[in-house]
Chain A
Amino acid sequence: MSRFSPFREELELKPEEHELFCELFRGIAGLSLGPQSRFSMERRLRDRLVALNLKSFSEYYQVLRFHPHARAEMEEAIDAMTTHETYFFREDYQLRAFQEELLPLLAKEKKTTRRLSFWSAGCSTGEEAYTIAALVLASGLVDDWDVRVYGSDISKKCVSFARRGIYGKSSFRSSIPVAYTSYFDRRADGDVEVGKSIRALCHFGQMNLTDADKTSVVGQVDAIFCRNVLIYLTDDARKRVISTLYEQLRPGGVLMLGHSESLLNVTTAFELYHLKEDLVYKRPPGTP
């Protein structure tokens, strides 16, 4: 069936099928999907049915559960179901707080090893990871230090995109702040390419944050950005992710969540750390 088949619109996700998919995605990726998600799920998965020439969502469910290529197809499904919207310098008040208050603090703590690492957990197409790298370089506090920014996302496509480091207009909601323009190159086609200096700091990998199988490869980092990820997860998945992030943060390291997210009713393991414009979470120093 072609991509433009007139039959595409006939593919309807029935309520009972929707429940099955919700259960499946909850188990695999911890996605929190309520009854209201039925139509968006139908819209987001429909292309996969067309691509696989399937006639119903029930058939697609069988593919995801039992087909020999179920694992690869699950990646496609999760990719379709997750939100990839992000952009450079998002939530600038928090980034300002990071650069002006947290970074000097971290630099002071690590002045002996001259080594800093950051993790953009759920980095989507990489804008946040590159933003962090630009902020760190532009601060001038860690020149010639060994700096790493790890970016991870559950979507293979997003990670590949992030590695390319080439972005269109939609990745920049406003013009690049003057202080950072030297870290980006404008291409002839109007797109913007991440410059070599910040690209060299960034490393990307594919990870499902609800699985502890791969997250350990990040090693212990000094700060974690996990913004606008927890809001899509179930309570149980949220607890597992926070536990993972706690493990991967060095004692004294900080965790930054999105402006609408908090650890209320999730964990008490972190300390609240007050900044001028923001609140962040800190793994208490000296914790094992």
Chain B
Amino acid sequence: MTDVAFIATKLGSAEPEVRRLAARSLAQLDAEAGAPLLAQALGDSDWRVRKEAVTSAQTMRPRAAVLVVLEVLLDKKDNIGLRNAAVLALRALGTDATQAAGRAFDTLDADGRKLAVEVLVGASDEGAVAVLARALSDPDENVRIAGVEALAAVKGRTATARDLLSTLLANELSTELRLACLRSLDALSAVLPMPLLEQTLEEPLLRAAAVRLLRHVPEKRAALFSAMALKDPQRTVVREALRTLCHRIQIAGVEELEIVERTLAPQADVLALLRQLLLSSDDTEVRSGAILALSLARAPEDASLFVDALADDQIAEAAERSLRFYGQNDGSGLLTATKTAGPVARGAAISMVPLVSRDGDAVLLLREALLAAEPDVVVAALRGLSELGQAQDLEQVRVLSSSQNPSVCVAASHTIAALAELYPEAAAAAWARASSREDVDLAGCVLAACAPAVASGHQIADAESRIGYLVRAAGHPEPRVRTAAIEGLGGFTGNADARDAVTFAVADEEPSAALAAVRSLAALGETETLTQVLGRSKDASLLGAAFDALRHVSEGQAEIARRLLSERLKKETDDTMRAAISFTLARAESDA
């Protein structure tokens, strides 16, 4: 029995799985001999057999024979499954199917033409776009709509597709077709002229789709129309307007925000609807748009809504932005709201305080929050105080720097450092007091902020004490403190303790501290150690830093360093280090 006869027998089986396997075997047949069987399989009553035949059609050769049979099948009006399978098979053949689809479009009835258009969904060639353009002026509306939808999926020729659809939108009378145009234009991220959009916004059935397209329009007037759409009686339009506002507000300038603000402010019923959508919608974009719009309306009673929304992961980002908008006008309202919020929201809200209010009330609120039981709240307050705090806060923050909660402890250390930068004199005095009572936490953090100044300053009278203190601080658990102490030790040339501590710090697990050690070694004139680092280190950044440090010591050291690295390059087997050495040498050459 020939293959064709064997497969034909199997395709006639009553068992769908046997037929499916037979359809798979079609791929091995010559297309001319197997064409009738391909047609039979594509028209099978079982969808799995049809799907298998679609796949086989892609492999059968010669392809011209496959195209002929598929083109004929588009006209088989009695079997819908067969026609759909033929469309899928043709679409899978890509640009090879364009001519067949074009011929079918020119010769078949309306249903056949619609199928020919569907073959071209996702096409990318010029011929396909030309067929779709013809479809836009087809006498049958279904064919025209199919053409509009197919153009939305065109690949690579989107500009042509946008032009065709914009022209059709401007000239077409059918509402259904214009709606399809708007949706396809949105899929193509088309930027439509405002007059054309305004015209479509007039029509209730088109309004939601038109509002959606407003998100792509750069003119500020688009914001006005988006805000006005929030007053529309249709919920669909309101939801789309919120999604559009959500998009626009991400990039909006002040002027545009003011437009939205002016449009929304007096509309109590609109604001009520927005609150309802914020709390009940399933759509994150709608909720985000609602909270942003509410923040621009600036109703005092909404402050707690914004604060509470910070605890909602889905809209937390929009809530944060809302708080910034809202807080610009009503910082005190926001501050009040932070006091009554839940723990998560309260922490998040307090972290926003410096962004919306910097007055005395804000500082008082932050100080009060330092006493909270929830670590999130305390950490947020500490961060706030690092910006708004005053010299007097150093002491209270110091207490928290020995907290058993690691987050609080680290945040307190950072805040002390930040306050030390803001109030260097108060910090220096605190440092002197802390040093005398061996308070490494406070002194170390202050040191991190102003190490060079303190180390070379006059807070501790004798150099030995200063070195002793810095050596101890070089072992502090907080990397910034160690880094600062190591930098400070670089100022004590000729001192063995300073040299030993700095040398050992090259092994610090924190890159910043190890790099500081390399810099300090250069400052101390420890060129031998630097040369060792250069010759042995397997850390690319340390190697680069040691090289730079030696170059700055003297021209002679620079030459030694270059020679050493060149020699190491010849022997180095590690690819990463070879690359680092080559780069370092090339950089030096380029500098020279």
Q: Enumerate chain A interface residues (CB-CB to B < 8 A).
A: 71, 146, 148, 150, 152, 156, 159-160, 163-165, 187-189, 196, 199-200, 202-207, 211-214, 216-219
Contact = CB atoms under 8 A, between A and B. Distances in A.
Contact of A203 (B404, B504, B536, B538): B504
Nearest to A150: B504
Contacts of B533: 213
B359 to A, nearest CB: 37
B539 to A, nearest CB: 8
B500 interface: yes
Contacts of A189: 404
B281 interface: no
B505 interface: yes
Given A160-B477, A205-B509, 6 more contacts: A150-B504, A196-B440, A199-B475, A202-B475, A213-B537, A217-B505
Nearest to A163: B477
A183 B2 CA distance: 94
Contacts of B339: none
B507 A148 contact: no
Contact of B500 (A165, A206, A219): A219
Given A159-B509, A165-B477, A146 B497 contact: yes
A205 B477 contact: no
Contacts of B506: 205, 214, 217
Which of the listed residues B440, B536, B539 has the most CB atoms from chain A within 10 Å of its own CB? B536
Given A187-B404, A189-B404, A200-B472, A214 B477 contact: no
A218 B507 CA distance: 9
Contacts of B529: 216-217
A149 to B, nearest CB: 10
Nearest to B540: A71
Contacts of A146: 497
Contacts of A188: 404
B404 A205 contact: no
A84 to B, nearest CB: 15
The 9 nearest A-B residue pairs measured at CB: A205-B507, A206-B509, A213-B536, A163-B477, A156-B509, A217-B506, A159-B509, A214-B507, A164-B477
A3 to B, nearest CB: 19
Contact of A205 (B472, B500, B504): B504
Contact of A148 (B500, B532, B536): B500
A181 B506 CA distance: 33
Contacts of B504: 150, 203, 205, 217-219
A199 B476 CA distance: 9
Contact of B536 (A159, A196, A204, A212): A212
A54 B533 CA distance: 36
B576 A163 contact: no
B140 interface: no
Nearest to B474: A203
Interface of B: 404, 438, 440, 472, 474-477, 497, 500-501, 503-509, 529, 532-533, 536-539, 576
Contact of A71 (B438, B475, B576): B576
Contacts of A214: 506-507, 536-537
A205 B505 contact: yes
16 contacts: A146-B497, A150-B504, A152-B507, A159-B509, A160-B477, A164-B477, A189-B404, A196-B440, A203-B475, A203-B501, A203-B504, A212-B536, A216-B529, A217-B504, A218-B507, A219-B504
A213 B509 CA distance: 14
Nearest to B507: A205
A156 B404 CA distance: 22
A217 B20 CA distance: 73
Contacts of B539: 213
Contacts of B508: 205-206
A203 B505 CA distance: 9
Nearest to A157: B509
Nearest to B469: A200
Nearest to B439: A196
A164 B536 CA distance: 29
A118 B6 CA distance: 87
Given A203-B474, A212-B536, A196 B438 contact: yes
A216 B509 CA distance: 16
A96 B371 CA distance: 48
Given A148-B500, A196-B440, A216-B536, A207 B472 contact: no
A164 B441 CA distance: 12
B509 A160 contact: yes
B546 to A, nearest CB: 11
A235 B308 CA distance: 62
A163 B475 contact: yes
B587 to A, nearest CB: 20
Nearest to A117: B500
A199 B472 CA distance: 8
A71 B476 CA distance: 25
Nearest to A113: B496
B545 to A, nearest CB: 14
Nearest to A196: B438
Given A71-B576, A159-B509, A187-B404, A219 B475 contact: no
Contacts of B509: 156, 159-160, 205-206
A213 B529 CA distance: 11
Given A205-B508, A206-B507, A211 B538 contact: yes
A152 B475 CA distance: 13
B538 A204 contact: no
Contacts of B440: 196
B532 A204 contact: no
Contacts of B507: 152, 205-207, 214, 217-218
A125 B475 CA distance: 14
A70 B81 CA distance: 54
A264 B269 CA distance: 90
Contacts of A218: 504, 507
A165 B507 CA distance: 18
B308 to A, nearest CB: 27
A219 B538 contact: no
B433 to A, nearest CB: 16
A213 B506 CA distance: 10
Nearest to B404: A189
A205 B509 CA distance: 6
A166 to B, nearest CB: 9
Contacts of B500: 148, 219
B472 A163 contact: no
B477 A216 contact: no
A156 to B, nearest CB: 4
Nearest to B529: A217
A187 B533 CA distance: 41
A258 to B, nearest CB: 23
Contacts of A148: 500
B438 A213 contact: no
Contacts of A163: 475-477
Nearest to A148: B500
A199 B529 CA distance: 26
Contact of B475 (A204, A207, A212, A216): A204
Nearest to B475: A203
A250 to B, nearest CB: 14
A189 B532 CA distance: 45
A73 B210 CA distance: 51
Contacts of B404: 187-189
A203 B472 CA distance: 9
Q: Which of B474, B503, B504, B507: most chain A Cβ within 10 A?
A: B507
B475 A213 contact: no
A152 B506 CA distance: 12
Contacts of A164: 477
Which of A152, A164, A165, A205: most chain B Cβ within 10 A?
A205
Nearest to A71: B576
Nearest to B543: A213
A203 B473 CA distance: 10
Contacts of A206: 507-509
A177 B476 CA distance: 26
